[in-house]
């Protein structure tokens, strides 16, 4: 917004000098300046509304560096506005002892020209004399001559005239400085401070530093500190033998810390509290975590124990079950049900497998109960019992159970019926049904 301003300099200078005529130390008088102006737009019409205005003080009429600035949102009515300079940014850094010029800028416009020079009013000239202590009739040091007085005399008024005389009747009661000796300490005798004492460190009762030897350790003998001891004189345990990357332990005599112990040494000498199991006969509390590394996660010593014992190589929950080795066999015994959960993580991809001696699977059971087996069925062969409800073998469910065998027990005794064996299969027309094999 292009603007023009007409400065009401008479109002500005009057209020400016009034505000600065008071001391800043008087908290009741704000250190601010009231400034008024007249603001028009580019066509000369007076401005109405609130505008952002920036006020800046300089020590030059043009150019130069700003020594104070403040931006306010100013209410303008009919072109006339009034602001209190210093209400946002304090004016205290300014001494007002040299000429100042005020620059005014509206919004993002360039600063208006020319700048307004701060002026004084007539009665403010008195402040110049106050600053330089210049006043008619005042006595300055240059106005005072010897007037017949000699050294160490005062000019005194006798009641009728000025006379020169030595001070009488003046006795200072505070202690005075008495004897002075270069490099000496000062003490008081009750009436004066005498500086003639030798440094008190020569007669100080506190322990002093005595013998000094380069590289020596400092120890006290109770009266002085001697710095001439060798590190070997220390009685605390020292670091003895050291080998890189080996463990540390105290030597047998308890006089030094040797860092030369291998992992095997550490394991042989290691012992735990009741949270751990270390040797035969130990009992433990808490949870035993076994993490397999390069070797076995858990080693169990073979014994002659069998499943009829209360104690086995690994006992699972007291008499619930046990795992043991007998001869060349690994036996798992249970006094209850045995569950193998193949889908604890619910991802549908887990299987239970048995491998032969060449590490090839010979029996696989997936999470859906499907069995894949390699080998010959002996003994009673494969027998399917009707232990659950017979599923449907139709177009919807048939593809899921295709090939399933279903055996139904016949009735024995009076009213006997034959056993039946069926298979879920489809015909050439892709129709699924239970087909009787027997």
> Looking at the domain assignment, is residue 73 inside a domain?
yes
* Top-confidence residue, 94 or 14: 94
Of 110, 131, 152, the one marking the end of a domain is 131
In whole angstroms, give the CA distance from residue 75 to residue 47: 10
In whole angstroms, give the CA distance from residue 161 to residue 147: 12
In whole angstroms, give the CA distance from residue 218 to residue 229: 6
Of 258, 283, 308, the one marking the end of a domain is 283
Average pLDDT score, the chain: 76
Residue 315 Ramachandran class (φ > 0 left, ψ -120 to 50 alpha, else beta): beta
Domain shared by 99 and 11, yes or no: yes
**C-alpha torsion sign, points 29, 31, 32, 33:** positive
- For the chain, the residue count is 438
* Top-confidence residue, 425 or 124: 425
Check if the beta carbon of residue 432 is closer than 8 Å to that of residue 402. yes
Say what the pLDDT of residue 158 is: 81
Say what the pLDDT of residue 172 is: 64
In whole angstroms, give the CA distance from residue 140 to residue 134: 9
Domain shared by 213 and 127, yes or no: no
- Secondary structure of residue 142 in the 3-state scheme: helix
**Predicted confidence (pLDDT) per residue in 176-229, tens digit:** 788 888 888 888 887 788 888 887 655 555 667 888 888 888 888 877 888 888
- Secondary structure of residue 403 in the 3-state scheme: coil
pTM for the predicted model, two decimal places = 0.30
In whole angstroms, give the CA distance from residue 242 to residue 245: 9
Domain ranges, residue 278: 209-283
Q: How far is CA 42 from the centre of its chain?
A: 57
> Looking at the domain assignment, is residue 172 inside a domain?
no
Tally of CB atoms within 10 A around 149: 15
Number of independent structural domains in the chain:
3
Say what the pLDDT of residue 68 is: 95
Check if the beta carbon of residue 316 is closer than 8 Å to that of residue 322. yes
């Amino acid at each position: 917004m292009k603007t023009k301003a007409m400065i009401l300099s008479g109002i500005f200078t009057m209020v400016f000098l009034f505000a600065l005529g008071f001391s800043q130390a008087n908290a009741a008088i704000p250190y601010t300046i009231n400034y008024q102006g007249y603001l028009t737009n580019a066509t000369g019409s007076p401005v109405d509304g609130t505008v952002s205005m920036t006020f800046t003080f300089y020590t030059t009429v043009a150019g130069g560096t700003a020594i104070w600035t403040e931006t306010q949102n100013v209410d303008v009515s009919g072109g006339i506005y009034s602001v209190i300079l210093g209400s946002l940014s304090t004016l205290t850094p300014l001494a007002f002892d040299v000429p100042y010029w005020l620059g005014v800028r509206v919004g993002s416009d360039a600063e208006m020209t020319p700048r307004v020079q701060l002026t004084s009013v007539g009665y403010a000239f008195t402040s110049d004399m106050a600053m330089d202590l210049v006043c008619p009739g005042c006595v300055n040091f240059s106005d005072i001559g010897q007037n017949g007085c000699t050294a160490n005399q005062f000019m005194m008024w006798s009641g009728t005239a000025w006379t020169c005389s030595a001070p009488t009747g003046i006795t200072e009661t505070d202690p005075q400085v008495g004897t002075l000796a270069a490099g000496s300490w000062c003490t008081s005798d009750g009436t004066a401070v005498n500086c003639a004492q030798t440094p008190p460190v020569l007669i100080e009762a506190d322990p002093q530093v005595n013998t000094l030897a380069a590289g020596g350790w400092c120890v006290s003998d109770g009266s002085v500190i001697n710095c001439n001891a060798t590190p070997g004189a220390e009685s605390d345990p020292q670091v003895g033998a050291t080998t890189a990357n080996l463990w540390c332990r105290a030597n047998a005599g308890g006089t030094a810390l040797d860092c030369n112990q291998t992992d095997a040494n550490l394991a042989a000498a290691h012992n735990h509290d009741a949270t751990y199991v270390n040797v035969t006969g130990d009992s433990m509390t808490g949870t035993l975590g076994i993490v397999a590394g390069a070797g076995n996660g858990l080693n169990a010593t073979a014994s002659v124990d069998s499943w009829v014992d209360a104690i086995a190589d690994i006992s699972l929950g007291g008499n619930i079950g046990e795992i043991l080795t007998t001869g060349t066999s690994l036996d798992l015994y249970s006094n209850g049900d045995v569950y193998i959960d193949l889908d604890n993580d619910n991802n549908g991809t887990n299987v239970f497998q048995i491998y032969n001696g060449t590490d090839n699977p010979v029996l696989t059971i997936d999470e859906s109960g499907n069995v894949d087996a390699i080998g010959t069925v002996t003994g009673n062969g494969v027998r399917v019992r009707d232990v659950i409800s017979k599923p449907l073998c139709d177009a919807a469910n048939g593809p899921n159970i295709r090939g399933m065998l279903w055996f139904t027990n016949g009735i024995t005794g009076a009213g006997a019926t034959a056993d039946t064996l069926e298979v879920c299969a489809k015909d050439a027309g892709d129709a699924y049904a239970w087909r009787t094999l027997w």
